[in-house]
Structures are given as C-alpha cells and as structure tokens.
C-alpha cells in the first residue's frame, strides 16, 4: 500500500549513499520493494544489482526515486521486448503455414 506520509515522499527524493555492505543493499532493496510494489524475487534483485553496477564510478549517491524510475523503465522494456518476440514468433509461424499451404 502506498505511503501517505509526506516525510516519506521527501526522503524518497533525497540522494543517499550507495550501498557498500550487504545490509545496506538489503535496506535499499526493501525500500524499493515498498516504493514500487515490486515482486520480491530474484529477477528484481538481479535488476537492482545490475543497475548499481552501471552507476558511473564517481557517483556515490542516488535517490530511491532514481532507482524506482530506472527499474520501472527496465520492466517496461522487458514487457515491450516480450511482445516483440511474441509478434515475431507469430509472423514466423504464419509464414511457415503459408509455405506449407502453397506446397
């Protein structure tokens, strides 16, 4: 359930130090799960880890909102890619059916 506390939403916007321990990673992970209402699974954990690895070397702060927006975009990209693959498979199946019907 989304938070209604104004302080919570302000803290989401404030850049925080990137995690340097497993405990800090877990805290970030739990905050983002609550913020985005994401599923608690290995895929989300992997996406967050990858995102942290791609942060430029000189950057040591990031807000939860930055992670939220990037993770939301990543999910959107995965869905769009899946739709593209489904359509590609349908087109290939239709072509095979057409070729078989001609012969």
Mean pLDDT of 90-95: 90
6-27: per-residue pLDDT in tens? 888 888 999 999 999 999 999 9
Q: Is it the case that residue 1 has pLDDT exceeding 50? A: no
Which H or E run includes 73?
helix 64-102
Tens digit of each residue's pLDDT (9 = 90 or more) over 36-66: 888 888 888 999 999 999 999 999 999 999 9
Q: Over the range 36-65, which residues count as b (16 or more CB within 10 Å of their CB) and which as e?
A: bebeeeeebeebbeebeeeeeeeeeebebb
Is residue 2 pLDDT above 80, yes or no?
no
Angle in degrees, CA 53, 58, 60, rounded to 5: 70
pLDDT at 89: 95
pLDDT digits over 67-88, tens only?
999 999 988 998 999 999 999 9
At residue 99, does pLDDT exceed 80? no
């Amino acid at each position: 359930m989304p938070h209604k506390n104004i302080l919570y939403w302000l803290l989401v916007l404030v850049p925080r130090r990137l995690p340097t321990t497993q405990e800090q990673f877990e805290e970030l992970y739990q905050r983002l799960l609550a913020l985005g209402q994401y599923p608690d699974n290995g895929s989300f954990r992997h996406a967050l880890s990858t995102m942290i690895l791609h942060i430029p070397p000189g950057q040591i702060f990031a807000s939860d909102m930055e992670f939220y927006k990037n993770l939301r975009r990543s999910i959107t990209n995965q869905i769009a890619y899946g739709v593209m693959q489904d359509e590609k498979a349908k087109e290939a199946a239709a072509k095979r059916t057409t070729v078989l019907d001609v012969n």
